[in-house]
């Protein structure tokens, strides 16, 4: 008999959830946030009161669909009272949408009902930050002005993108009066399955550097998707000393090189001003997965 009593008493103090902390909150509903879902934490047997600073339309709340979950669900023009009978389901959380009276924005506010094991909203004050039709018209005019300015900026960028070749480089300012030096780089070392065909070309213009080469993928190797380049400065003993650029963009006409194919690869970067004169560098070009690369060691940039 004593064991049976103990068996009944244990869940009352060990298995049942602890009391939820009551919380009072204030929400401001704005016109630009009309589609935002506001979490409303409710709990079985606990009354949650939602107070509105402006009237809502009681008929806009679908109380019939929510009735099986609530012991009490009352909606008035200025207040909504909820007392759930059960915890809110996790798989399909209920939604309450209440429409405001009048034509100002925002027109409605939506609550996503959840049951939190630790907290429950007992009082929630909802303030509608309403905008009249005149206010919305002013905001629309400002938005249109911003769109016009943005479109003008895009037009300039489109004009720059349309400029190609050496003429385009001059017109966009990428190529100035300083000389462009071109030299062939030493042989590259590649991961098995990768081969640089011929010599890479290195272009120098002020502090801009551009490396271009043709990469061939062996027929028995996996496809190669461009990733990023890395530039490392060598020390006096030819050991890697300092990472100058960790992620140089790798550009190709193709999105990927299939096994047995070749493609041109181009990297462009800018050299910092605080570099050691006559320093030598390592340039690595990696695939997207970061497990295959080609590299040049001893470059003079």
DSSP result, the chain? -HHHHHHHHHIIIIISPPPPEEEEEEEEEEGGGTTPEEEEE--TT--EEEEESS-B-GGGS-HHHHGGGEEEEEE-SSEEEEEESSPPPSSS--EEEEEBSSSPBP-EEEEEEE--SSEEEEEEEEEEE-B-HHHHHHHHHHHHHHHHHHHHHHHHHHHHHT--HHHHHHHTTSS-SSPPEEEEPPPPEE-TTEEEEEEEEEEEETTEEEEEEEEEE-TTSPPB-EEEEEEEEE-TTS-EEEEEEEEEEEE-SSS-B-TT-EEEEEEEEE--SSPPTT-EEEEEEEETTSS-EEEEEEEE-
pLDDT at 125: 93
Cα distance between residue 266 and residue 249, in whole Å: 9
pLDDT at 170: 77
Give me the count of residues in the chain.
Answer: 301
pLDDT at 237: 86
With beta carbons less than 8 A apart as the criterion, state whether 23 and 119 touch: yes
Question: Which residues does the chain have with pLDDT short of 50?
Answer: 1-16
Write the pLDDT tens digit of every residue in 129-184.
866 566 666 666 777 878 888 887 787 777 767 777 778 777 777 788 888 899 99
Query: Among 76, 98, 96, which Cα is nearest to 84's?
Result: 96
Cα distance between residue 156 and residue 162, in whole Å: 10
pLDDT at 138: 67
The label of the residue with tokens 């806009």 reads: 60
pLDDT at 274: 85
pLDDT at 284: 96
Cis amide bond preceding 272, omega within 30? no
Cα distance between residue 216 and residue 193, in whole Å: 8
């Amino acid at each position: 008999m004593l064991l049976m009593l103990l068996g009944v008493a244990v869940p009352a103090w060990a298995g049942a959830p602890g009391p939820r902390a009551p919380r009072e909150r204030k929400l401001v509903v704005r016109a630009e946030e009309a589609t935002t879902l506001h979490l409303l934490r409710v709990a079985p047997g606990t009354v949650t009161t939602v107070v509105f600073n402006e009237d809502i339309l009681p008929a806009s709340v679908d109380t019939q669909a929510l009735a099986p979950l609530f012991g009490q669900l009352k909606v008035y023009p200025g207040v909504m009272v909820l007392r759930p009978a059960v915890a809110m389901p996790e798989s399909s959380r209920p939604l309450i949408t209440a429409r405001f009276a009048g034509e100002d924005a925002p027109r409605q506010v939506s609550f996503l009902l959840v049951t939190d094991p630790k907290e429950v909203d007992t009082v929630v004050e909802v303030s509608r930050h309403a905008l009249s039709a005149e206010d919305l018209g002013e905001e629309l005019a400002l938005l249109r002005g911003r769109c016009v300015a943005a479109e003008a900026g895009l037009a300039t960028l489109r004009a720059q993108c349309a400029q190609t070749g050496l003429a385009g480089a001059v017109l966009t300012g990428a190529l100035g009066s300083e000389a462009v030096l071109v030299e062939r780089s030493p042989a590259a070392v590649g991961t098995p399955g990768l081969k640089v065909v011929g010599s890479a070309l290195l272009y120098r213009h002020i502090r801009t550097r551009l490396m271009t080469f043709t990469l061939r993928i062996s027929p028995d190797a996996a496809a190669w998707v461009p990733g990023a380049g890395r530039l490392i400065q060598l020390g006096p003993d030819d050991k890697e000393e300092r990472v100058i650029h960790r992620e140089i963009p790798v550009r190709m006409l193709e999105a990927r090189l299939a096994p047995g194919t070749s493609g041109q690869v181009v990297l462009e970067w800018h050299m910092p001003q605080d570099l050691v004169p006559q320093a030598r560098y390592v340039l690595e070009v990696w695939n997207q997965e970061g497990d295959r690369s080609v590299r040049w060691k001893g470059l003079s940039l």
